């Protein structure tokens, strides 16, 4: 299912069954970076379970809705790949263009050319040998922007790092109202109600807050 056609630009962002919770500050900060002409490569880096992929998809959806990339916004899941040389073919498949042949990266650059695209390369950490290809792709495609998610930085001069940790937690001495509004507690409560609609956060707030703190606010752990 593609994202809303009202957004205009071509895309392959599937609708999500669950609600995206929190990260308003991070989304705003990342969008501000991508609005800069000198930011072509943004690497969302953080530990496993921090929600890098989900943040990147939400960020891509936000950019799509804003009309920031008229030629399209495309997500490329790299997790199933086992070799760096498989990346161009996977990107071409997401874009709906002909599969690259002998000079795969060069063919991909020719297919993108001057299109104003946003590519999200999700889960890059096991394919780092291909990292040096990204600046060359950006050089040959002057209106391309790339978001990468990875547990490890790409160690590129053109890379703009966007570290991601756990969801925001309320201070230890926070009042109940503030604790309920913390991102980590909101996510826990949202997912808990999907399983048990009668879940009463007010009754369980002390335990939920303690659990969120012990798990460092990591979304995957909370879910």
Residue 96, burial from CB neighbour count under 10 angstroms (0-12, 13-18, 19+): exposed
| pLDDT for the residue 161 | 96
The phi, psi pair for 41, rounded to 5°, reads -130, 115
* For the chain, counts of helices (H) and of strands (E): 9, 5
Phi then psi dihedrals of residue 187, to 5 deg: -65, -45
Give the pLDDT of residue 115: 94
Q: What is the pLDDT of residues 55-86, one digit of tens each?
A: 999 999 999 999 999 999 999 999 999 999 99
C-alpha dihedral (127, 10, 144, 63), degrees to nearest 10: -90
- pLDDT tens, position by position, for the chain (223 residues)? 334 434 478 999 887 767 788 889 999 999 999 999 999 999 999 999 999 999 999 999 999 999 999 999 999 999 999 999 999 999 999 998 887 777 899 999 999 999 999 999 999 999 999 999 999 999 999 999 999 999 999 999 989 999 999 998 888 877 888 888 899 999 999 999 999 999 999 898 989 999 999 999 998 999 8
CA 204 remoteness from chain centre = 31
Decide if 116 contacts 90 (C-beta within 8 A).
Answer: no
Measured CA to CA, the distance from residue 97 to residue 87 in angstroms comes to 14
Residue 35 near residue 22 (C-beta atoms within 8 A): no
For residue 17, the model assigns a pLDDT of 63
Would you give the DSSP letter of residue 166? S
| Residue 75 β-bridge partners | 120
Give me the pLDDT at residue 2, please.
Answer: 38
Cβ-based neighbour number of residue 48 at 10 Å: 10
How many alpha carbons lie under 13 Å from residue 32 in its C-beta half-sphere? 7
């Amino acid at each position: 299912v593609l994202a809303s056609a009202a957004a205009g630009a071509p895309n392959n962002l599937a609708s999500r069954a669950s609600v995206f919770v929190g990260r308003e500050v991070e989304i705003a900060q990342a969008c501000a970076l991508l609005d800069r002409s000198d930011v072509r490569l943004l690497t969302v880096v953080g530990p496993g379970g921090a929600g890098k992929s989900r943040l990147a998809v939400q960020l891509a959806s936000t950019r799509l809705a804003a009309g920031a990339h008229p030629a399209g916004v495309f997500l490329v899941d790299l997790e199933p790949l086992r070799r760096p040389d498989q990346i161009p073919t996977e990107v071409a498949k997401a874009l709906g263009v002909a599969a690259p042949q002998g000079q795969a990266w060069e063919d991909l650059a020719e297919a993108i050319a001057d299109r104003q695209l946003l590519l999200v390369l999700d889960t890059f950490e096991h394919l780092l040998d291909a990292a040096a290809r990204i600046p060359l792709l950006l050089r040959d495609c002057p209106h391309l922007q790339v978001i990468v998610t990875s547990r490890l930085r790409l160690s590129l001069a053109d890379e703009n790092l966007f570290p991601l940790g756990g969801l925001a937690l309320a201070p230890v001495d926070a009042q109940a109202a503030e604790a309920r509004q913390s991102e980590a507690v909101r996510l826990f409560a949202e997912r808990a109600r999907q399983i048990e609609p009668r879940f009463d956060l007010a009754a369980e707030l002390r335990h939920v807050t303690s659990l969120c703190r012990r798990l460092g606010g990591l979304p995957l752990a909370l879910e």
